[in-house]
């Protein structure tokens, strides 16, 4: 199956770091392509904003963290813009500004297939490509409450993670034969068969005699992570805490200085998250799509304490309605949810079974096979 460089088909992935999920989704698909079709493709990632966005679009990755710190304003903007007519108006008004940049992107990165994992990429790139163009595939990286900008009617395939996202695609005018429900792509290391939990805990130096609650706040350690940790510890629940402060060094220092009344491990930014999830019993987290998908694969029931209004509203509804977790926006509710699962093992088993039912560990590899078919590579069954 190996080809020479001159024979290899080129796939270009369009992403931007406006939120962590776009980059990680592209990287997961690229990893899956290499695992399924080693050496068959030239694979390239292009940050559409940083590399080709004119002012002010080139500032979007830097501005995004500040924008989402105003959640109510963000949610209002999301709601007002989330419709097919509004999406068309947004992309039409942006076209005169981005036209030259999009045409340059296409010249700089000739491809046999273009894959977008960002909702703002499809409309301008498809317009720049014109009628005689290579195939264009959208991979939707929001779980449930998906924005209309994801659903451009000229894409060849739109890959979505859930039935709710499929229904939204239908509302936005896509044809059923152009939409496939596959799941959210996550890195292969999250999709390995689970190791023995007790053995993992021994390797990590975690307590063996109690349940473990894993608390995360994303790479930046955002949200009420500290308040939730203190509430759990002070409630005297028979659990151990593993807290991921991410890159938030000030938070990590405060947590390390505190005298914890229950066994507690504090970490900064970690790369062992798959093992951390497989070694834990509960996940206390914000409602990000990637984290939810990874937790479902790990069989890790969720306690969700915050969400970004707009695209993460539906994530909470999805997790709760499917029985895989609970919504607990206040520290006392987090404590109550943990206490209920500890007191009622059967209730916990129901949540665990829901996680296993909803998990889609093969999503990235399935997407890789779909892409390979579009460029004529042999598909491994």
At 223-258, the pLDDT tens digits run 689 999 999 999 989 999 999 998 889 999 999 999
CA nearest to 281, candidates 376, 188, 209, 379:
209
Give residue-wise pLDDT tens across range 170-217.
Answer: 999 999 999 999 999 999 999 987 678 889 999 999 999 999 999 998
Per-residue pLDDT of 278-290, as tens digits, reads 999 999 999 999 9
Q: State the CB neighbour count (10 A cutoff) for residue 133.
A: 14
Higher pLDDT, 19 or 87: 87
Mean pLDDT estimate for the chain: 91
Q: Residue 378: is its pLDDT beyond 90?
A: no
| pLDDT value at residue 218 | 66
- Residue-level pLDDT at 140: 97
pLDDT-above-70 percentage for the chain: 95
pLDDT (mean) for 91-104: 93
The CATH H-level (homologous superfamily) assignment of domain 9-188+361-374 is: Glycogen Phosphorylase B; (3.40.50.2000)
Task: Read off the pTM.
Answer: 0.92
Verify cis geometry, omega within 30 degrees of 0, for the bond prior to 19: no
Instruction: Judge whether 123 and 146 are in contact, CB under 8 Å.
Output: no
CA pair distance 273, 302, nearest whole angstrom: 15
Asked if 30 contacts 43 with a C-beta cutoff of 8 angstroms, the reply is yes
Q: Which two structure tokens, joined as six digits, stand for 363? A: 């999503």
List the alpha helices (DSSP H) in the chain. 21-36, 48-52, 60-67, 71-81, 84-108, 122-129, 163-171, 197-204, 225-234, 249-257, 273-279, 289-298, 313-321, 331-343, 345-358, 363-374
CATH superfamily assigned to domain 192-358: Glycogen Phosphorylase B; (3.40.50.2000)
Domain boundaries, the chain: 9-188+361-374, 192-358
Give the residue-averaged pLDDT of 358-378.
92
pLDDT at 99 over 80: yes
pLDDT, tens only, 46-84: 999 999 988 888 887 777 777 777 888 888 888 889 988
Q: What are phi and psi of 217, to 5 degrees?
A: -135, 30
Residue 125 has φ and ψ, to the nearest 5°, of -70, -40
User: What is the pLDDT, as a whole number, of residue 31?
Assistant: 98
Do the first three CATH levels of 9-188+361-374 and 192-358 match, i.e. the same topology? yes
Predicted confidence (pLDDT) at residue 2 exceeds the cutoff of 60: no
Q: How far is CA 305 from CA 11, 17, 238, in A?
A: 38, 23, 21
């Amino acid at each position: 199956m190996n080809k020479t460089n001159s024979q290899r088909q080129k796939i270009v992935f369009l992403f931007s770091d406006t939120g962590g999920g776009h980059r990680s989704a592209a990287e997961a698909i690229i990893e899956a392509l290499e695992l399924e079709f080693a050496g068959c493709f030239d694979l390239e990632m292009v940050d559409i904003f940083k590399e080709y966005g004119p002012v002010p679009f080139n500032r979007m990755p830097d501005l995004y963290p500040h924008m989402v710190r105003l959640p109510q304003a963000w949610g209002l903007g999301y709601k007002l813009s989330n419709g097919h007519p509004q999406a068309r108006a947004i992309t039409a008004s942006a076209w005169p500004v981005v036209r030259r940049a999009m045409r340059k992107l296409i010249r700089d990165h000739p491809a046999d297939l273009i894959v977008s994992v960002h909702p703002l990429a499809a409309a301008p790139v498809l317009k720049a490509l014109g009628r005689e163009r290579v195939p264009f595939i959208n991979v939707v990286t929001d779980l449930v409450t998906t924005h209309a900008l994801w659903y451009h009617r000229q894409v060849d395939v739109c890959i979505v993670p859930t039935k709710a996202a499929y229904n939204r695609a239908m509302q936005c005018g896509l044809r059923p034969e152009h939409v496939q429900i596959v799941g959210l792509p996550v890195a292969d290391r999250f999709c390995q068969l689970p190791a023995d939990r007790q053995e993992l805990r021994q390797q990590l130096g975690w307590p063996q005699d109690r349940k473990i609650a894993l608390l995360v706040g994303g790479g930046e350690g955002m949200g009420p992570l500290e308040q939730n940790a203190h509430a759990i510890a002070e409630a005297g629940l028979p659990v151990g805490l593993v807290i991921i402060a991410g890159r938030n060094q000030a938070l990590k220092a405060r947590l390390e200085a505190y005298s914890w009344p229950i066994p507690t491990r504090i970490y900064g930014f970690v790369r062992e998250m798959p093992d951390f999830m497989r070694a834990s019993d509960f996940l206390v987290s914000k409602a990000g799509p990637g984290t939810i998908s990874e937790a479902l694969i790990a069989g890790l029931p969720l306690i969700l304490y915050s969400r970004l209004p707009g695209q993460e509203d539906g994530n909470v509804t999805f997790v709760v309605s499917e029985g895989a977790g609970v919504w607990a926006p206040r520290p006392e509710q987090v404590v109550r949810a943990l206490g209920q699962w500890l007191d009622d093992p059967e209730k916990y088993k129901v949540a665990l079974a829901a996680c296993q039912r909803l998990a889609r560990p093969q999503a990235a590899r399935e997407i890789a096979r779909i892409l390979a078919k579009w460029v004529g590579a042999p598909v491994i069954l």
